[in-house]
Chain A
Amino acid sequence: MNTSVQTEKATTPTPANPSQGLASGAEILIRSLEAEGVEIIFGHPGGAIIGIYDEMHRLNPSFEHVLVRHEQGGTHAAEGYAKATGKVGTVLVTSGPGATNCVTGIADAYMDSIPMVVFTGQVPTHLIGNDAFQECDTIGVTRSITKHSFLVRDVKDLAETVKKAYYIARTGRPGPVVVDLPKDILAARAPFHYPSSVRIRGYNPVGRGNTEQVQKAATMMAEAERPLFYVGGGTIISDGAERLTALAQKTGIPVTTTLHGLGSFPENDPLSVGMLGMHGTWYANMAVQNTDLLIAVGARFDDRVTGKIEAWAPHARIIHIDIDPACISKNVPVDCPILGDVSKVLEQLEPLVQPGDYSAWRSQIDAWKKECPMDFERDGKLRPQEIIQALREKTGGQAVVVTDVGQNQMWGAQFYSYVHPRSHITSGGLGTMGFSLPAAMGAAFGLRGMDRDVISINGDGGVMMNIQELGVAAAHKLPLKVVILNNNYLGMVRQWQELFHEERYSHTNLEPTNPDFVRLAEACGCVGLRCDSPEDIASTLEAAWEVTDRPVVMEFSVVNEEKVFPMVPAGAATDNMITAQFNPEACA
């Protein structure tokens, strides 16, 4: 907020209020956000919500407002903030285009179960349906991408609606909630009272798991010979990573994680088999195909994990722990469903399980690890994998890494070796290019003063999709480390074209339209660095880490044709992995 003006305004008493004790809808909204404990909101003003901005100017609220440069950037920033801190992200935008610009971010948060509340302006109630200026049926447009939504029709309901919105966004399986605010409601007046709790008849999130089911799971675990934990993002959301780690170490059961599960179990632990799925490790996928008991924890059997579903984990009995009933047996019918909060269920499970003797299974997995390790070619050319590994060394695995979508996302997942929950943030479900930069900014806001590096990893394609937020990060002096793996291609699409479309590189070359990223960074008030060879990686990172008062953009000119391996082609059986080291037949 503009502090210089605030101090002046803050000394003036509340303006003459004809109706004593009543507050405007705009003020009620601000007071509600304060009462909810909101620390930061990402917003962009416009006609329908100008009243809220006016009240923010007058009231000097306890939360910070960050003026983003595109509403989509605001939604991703709120997501990054939520993922990094575990708190609810907040977005405030105007009606019509302000709201539609949020659609991608809302859909992203819906797919990845991110708690977020988006306040959208709306035309005055009496104009709704008239095609008024900047009118959009925001509730209709966002219906299938929100956990829930509200159109506030009476200022008296506003405070309670805000309370409900945050409650719904945060609890159960988290997700985005839209609150649509007609302009006349923001101007109307009512007494302000923020409820301390709300009850919603049809909504009762679950807690502990059913004791019998938990016991059954423990028995199945005791009976298994080749058990495997399959851990997803729900484990991190429920703050269950420590319990999961303890449980795996107590039992000696190996762990594979999904993309969103990265960080729920330390990847440098011998029990870790890394990530599974389309670009998972060969040995994780081999373990899945051979396990006799899959213990799915806060995971959702996504098609990027399973590939051809009929052929996936063909020998496994399955235990599935999840908070969302609709997630259980959605794609794969399971043998032992446990409905509950992951962290609580793991707590219930812990005393019931014993260390097992899985030595044969473990040595089989170790043999697979040796057979096809995660590696890449070292021939003196600048390869993205080496850069990610250098980042790992530079930060000792303590950074929060926010990746974009494409090849950079997969290398970022494969080569950093995550050891902490909430240290890996990405757009997994929707796969939104342009996510990383604003999300990293949001994460950095959430982690200010905590001495955590925040690294944004991007491709040259995706980074351009929300590049406007660079100036925002600079204005707020965020010491973001922005990595651009410039392969001059929409690399992941190019990879598919090379492998599955006979090298027809239709419209994936970005060279003609790529900017000079170093100069672009500088134009936005950041430091720009360029690196062209492997020898310069270390010095580039050195220089970047010296900057502490603004973002640094590092452009790495990497080998253009590098591909992500291993790979299970879309829709193929997991047995049919392509790896760089082996021909596909040898792996099958």
Chain B
Amino acid sequence: MSNDTTSNNTTAVMPELTPQQLFRKQAAGEAIHPDAEDSIHRHVLTVLIENTIGALNRVSNLFSQRGFNLESVAVGEGLKPEQARLTLVTTGNDRIIAQVLKQLNALIDTIEVEDLTEEDHVERELCLVKVRCTSEERGVLLAMVDVFRASVVNITPDSLTFEVTGPTAKVNAFIGVMKDYDVREVARSGRVAMRRRLAFEH
């Protein structure tokens, strides 16, 4: 294939970008230097959909269909019982995030999509951790509860089950500390998020 050589050359030595090519790369959040990486951001989205299994399927399907990343999903009934509210955490460059938002909006059962990332918002995650422990360890573990403002939801002679709620970083830290012990089970809810104020208040 006589053209191979030409096309390979272009990747090896980054050619001078035209102003338009530069604009496009920047608009997409793509790297403009050969060795640099795209700037990937984490985005927290809330999506209001019709509260049906079909609608939920279409949302989750979208992520595999289009090759989008999905870090976490949390679903539950919203304010109105016929609507479900999802909190999704996804990552990508600007072009991909714009696509995620548009493709979510394109679904027939989607009522509203919001990107909370740049908004003043609260994020919370709930986590249950079950640890196997000896009676000597129990005291140390219980002391942890205060530090993380966690609560003990169950005690047996051999185990403790904790509940911790907070931003993901806090949950991660709690699980990290617990990992020094004999953690048997972890269950996380995925993030839920909400704008701090009403949409029109600034």
Binding site for B on A (CB under 8 A): 139-140, 143-144, 147-149, 151, 168, 200-203, 308, 310-311, 313-317, 324-326, 328-330, 332-333, 335, 499-500, 569, 571-573, 576, 578, 583-585, 588
Contact = CB atoms under 8 A, between A and B. Distances in A.
Contacts, number: 84
B3 A576 contact: yes
Interface stretch (B102-110, B115-123, B142-150, B153-161): B102-110
Contact of A308 (B7, B28, B49, B95): B7
Contacts of B95: 329-330, 333
A202 B111 CA distance: 4
B108 A325 contact: no
B58 interface: yes
B17 to A, nearest CB: 8
B135 interface: no
CB-CB nearest 4 A-B residue pairs: A333-B27, A326-B102, A144-B65, A148-B108
Nearest to B61: A143
B98 A588 contact: no
Given A316-B20, A325-B102, A326-B103, A168 B108 contact: yes
A143 B57 contact: yes
Given A202-B111, A572-B7, A584-B6, 13 more contacts: A148-B109, A151-B54, A168-B108, A202-B110, A203-B108, A313-B20, A315-B20, A317-B20, A329-B98, A330-B99, A333-B24, A333-B95, A584-B2
Contacts of B65: 143-144
B3 A314 contact: no
A326 B106 contact: yes
B27 A329 contact: yes
A202 B107 contact: yes
B75 to A, nearest CB: 16
Contacts of A315: 18, 20
Interface in B19-47: 20-21, 23-25, 27-28
Given A202-B111, A314-B18, A315-B20, A143 B7 contact: no
B3 A578 contact: yes
A335 B23 contact: yes
A328 B99 CA distance: 9
B1 interface: yes
B111 A201 contact: yes
Contacts of A499: 1
- Determine the main DSSP class of B at the interface with A: helix
A310 B106 contact: no
A493 to B, nearest CB: 15
Interface of B: 1-3, 6-7, 10, 18, 20-21, 23-25, 27-28, 49-50, 54, 57-58, 61, 65, 95, 98-99, 102-103, 105-111
A573 B61 contact: no
B59 to A, nearest CB: 11
Given A326-B106, A569-B3, A576-B6, A333 B99 contact: no
Contacts of B108: 147-148, 168, 200, 202-203
Nearest to A203: B108
A151 B54 CA distance: 9
A585 B6 CA distance: 9
A333 B23 contact: yes
Contacts of A325: 102, 105-106
Nearest to B28: A333
Contacts of A314: 18, 20-21
9 contacts: A147-B108, A201-B111, A202-B107, A202-B111, A326-B103, A333-B28, A499-B1, A572-B3, A573-B6
A139 B54 contact: yes
B3 A332 contact: no
B155 to A, nearest CB: 40
Q: Which of A148, A308, A314, A315 has the most B CB atoms < 10 Å from its CB?
A: A314
B6 A326 contact: no
A202 B2 contact: no
Contacts of B28: 333
Given A310-B21, A314-B20, A324 B54 contact: no
B109 A202 contact: yes
Contacts of A585: 2
Nearest to A327: B102
A314 B110 CA distance: 37
A251 B65 CA distance: 41
Q: Which of A151, A329, A588 has the most B CB atoms < 10 Å from its CB?
A: A329
A453 B50 CA distance: 47
Contacts of A139: 54
Given A143-B57, A314-B18, A329-B98, A578 B105 contact: no
